[in-house]
Amino acid sequence: MKAFIANLLLASLTAVVLLPSCGGGGDDPQPAEENLVITTTPVLNGQQEAVAPGPNFPLTVTVTSKMPPQGVRIEVTARPDGNGTTAFFTANQTTSNATTTLSITNTPQLTVSRVTVTVTSLSKPSNTKTGFYLYSRK
């Protein structure tokens, strides 16, 4: 009987020592990944671009950091600059390509417009970059 109790005690101690080191259930739902770094043309610097004839305005978004495993979502909104104005252009695109080119359309004439670009990792939604620039159509 003493041997049985000694073996049971040894098995219990072994389980207490080894089980916490076993993986399982503790996975981080958002994997570690490089912070997004993007470049755009025009540059997202909050500045006003030179007045241009339009009617279409190209926008290029490039992810210069390592692309997240599931890609990114690029959201673009263009609206007259000011409070409470309705967007005249929106785009929402998911991609794994480093470079995405869009064309902003329906820009009103003689109005300063704000383009806001948000790039979000699909693998880790808290990994995001946002910026804006201003432009106007002759």
Quick: pLDDT tens for 55-97: 899 999 999 999 999 999 999 999 999 877 799 999 999 999 9
pLDDT at 13: 52
Percent above pLDDT 70 for the chain: 77
Asked whether residue 22 is domain-assigned, the answer is no
Q: Domain range for residue 111?
A: 34-136
Asked whether residue 6 is domain-assigned, the answer is no
- What's phi and psi for 9, nearest 5 deg? -65, -45
Which tokens hold the place of 82?
């000011």
Asked whether residue 104 is domain-assigned, the answer is yes
Cβ–Cβ < 8 Å for 104, 56: yes
Cβ–Cβ < 8 Å for 33, 121: yes
d(CA 116, CA 75): 8
Asked whether residue 4 is domain-assigned, the answer is no
pLDDT at 104: 97
Asked whether residue 18 is domain-assigned, the answer is no
Asked whether residue 25 is domain-assigned, the answer is no
6-28: average pLDDT: 53
Asked whether residue 116 is domain-assigned, the answer is yes
Partners of 13 in beta bridges: none
Asked whether residue 55 is domain-assigned, the answer is yes
CATH number at residue 121: 2.60.40.2550
- The residues, ordered by sequence, that sit 6+ positions from 24 with a Cβ below 8 Å of its Cβ are none
33-47: average pLDDT: 95
Domain count for the chain, please give it.
Answer: 1
pLDDT at 22 over 80: no
Going from the C-alpha of 47 to that of each of 31, 66, 97, the distances in angstroms are: 35, 27, 27
